């Protein structure tokens, strides 16, 4: 499905040394996730909501990478730029999780692509639009179906508008080549994801007190990992049994994320838990040669 990730609104105050709270923790988690794809940005070892020197350094490097004033503080423009780049890398991870790669599609232009066509070339078009749309907010989101439907036409028109091309909604050779160049530039600059880090998709069944299965065990694993950063969410043993302790942990998470605190795990709660788990796992995993965000001293 086409995705635009929601973000917490700017807290209407400059974030810097001495700031503390959920807004700071949001920035820390998002920067650590972004740094998975942009390893020049150093890790923030503790995403605890305290705006420490590691946070300041990560913010400053982010600002340098994305051509913002390198102040090391988070104003409104930096806040929303972080949120936008975070959404972009999440969207690329989502495409990776769908098992779609450019190797599946022809890369050379073969014919004009027009509404109502249905073939692998259309899937390739939609894939390229989805990737480019993750980095160009004006390019409309799109589903990868292989059918040139109205949504595809609208996305093509939005791309043509961004690139100053005639807004025909038809993919001619110039539109195809410009789209592929935009896609290739993004792929070249952003490392791909490791499949092992992609979280389990929602299993399609409701998890609640009394249930025993492997999905409950995965849920418990995610909650326990999140507990390392968000202490108010209790850790639970990975037993596979959804008992009162697991329910309490789920309720604590739902309260933390502003969800209905009913202790029942449906699609929304599962996606929120899996998403935060993924952010934290990606965030703390350091790339080779990437700064860990703290000084390594020899003994």
Average pLDDT, the chain: 83
pLDDT tens digits, one per residue of 225-269: 999 989 999 999 999 999 999 999 999 999 998 888 999 998 778
Domain ranges for the chain: 22-97, 102-189, 196-284
3-state DSSP assignment of residue 266: coil
Q: How many CA atoms lie within 13 A of 88 on its CB side?
A: 28
- Number of C-beta neighbours around residue 208 at 10 A: 16
Taking the CA atoms of residue 277, residue 278, residue 284 and residue 287 in that order, the dihedral angle to the nearest 10 degrees is: 170
Q: Are 27 and 2 in contact (CB under 8 A)?
A: no
> How confident is the model at residue 296, as a pLDDT?
40
Average pLDDT over residues 116-120: 87
What is the dotted CATH code of the domain comprising 22-97? 1.10.101
Q: pLDDT category, 84, cuts 50, 70, 90?
A: confident
> How confident is the model at residue 254, as a pLDDT?
94
On the question of pLDDT at 88 being above 90, the answer is no
Domain 22-97 and domain 196-284 have a common topology: yes
- Domain at 102-189, CATH from 3.40.630.30, 1.10.101.10, 3.40.50.300, 3.30.420.40: 1.10.101.10
What is the dotted CATH code of the domain comprising 196-284? 1.10.101.10
Average pLDDT over residues 111-128: 88
Rounded Cα gap, residues 68 and 75, in angstroms: 11
On the question of pLDDT at 295 being above 80, the answer is no
pLDDT tens digits, one per residue of 168-227: 999 999 999 999 888 888 766 665 554 445 567 677 788 999 999 999 999 999 999 999
């Amino acid at each position: 499905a086409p995705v635009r990730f929601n973000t917490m609104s700017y807290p209407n105050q400059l974030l810097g040394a001495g700031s503390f709270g959920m807004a700071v923790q949001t920035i820390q988690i998002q920067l650590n996730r972004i740094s998975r794809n942009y390893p020049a940005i150093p890790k923030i070892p503790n995403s605890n909501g305290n705006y420490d020197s590691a946070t300041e350094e990560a913010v400053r490097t982010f600002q340098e990478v994305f051509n913002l004033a390198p102040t090391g503080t988070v104003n409104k423009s930096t806040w929303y730029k972080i949120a936008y780049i975070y959404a972009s890398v999440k969207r690329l991870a989502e495409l990776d999780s769908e098992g779609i790669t450019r190797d599946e599609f022809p890369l050379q232009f073969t014919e004009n692509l027009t509404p109502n066509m249905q073939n692998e070339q259309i899937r390739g078009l939609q894939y390229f639009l989805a990737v480019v749309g993750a980095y160009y907010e004006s390019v409309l989101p799109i589903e990868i179906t292989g059918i040139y439907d109205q949504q595809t036409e609208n996305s093509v028109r939005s791309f043509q508008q961004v690139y100053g091309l005639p807004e025909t909604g038809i993919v001619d050779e110039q539109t195809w080549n410009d789209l592929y160049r935009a896609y290739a530039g993004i792929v070249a600059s952003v490392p791909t994801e490791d499949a092992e880090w992609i979280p389990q998709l929602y299993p399609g069944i409701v998890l609640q007190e009394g249930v025993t299965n492997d999905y409950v065990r995965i849920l418990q694993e995610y909650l326990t990992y999140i507990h390392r950063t968000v202490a108010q969410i209790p850790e639970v043993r990975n037993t596979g049994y959804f008992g009162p302790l697991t329910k309490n942990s789920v309720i604590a998470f739902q309260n933390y994320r502003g969800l209905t605190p009913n202790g029942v795990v449906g699609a929304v709660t599962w996606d929120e838990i899996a998403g935060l788990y993924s952010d934290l796992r990606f965030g703390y995993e350091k790339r080779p040669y990437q700064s860990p965000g703290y000084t390594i001293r020899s003994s």
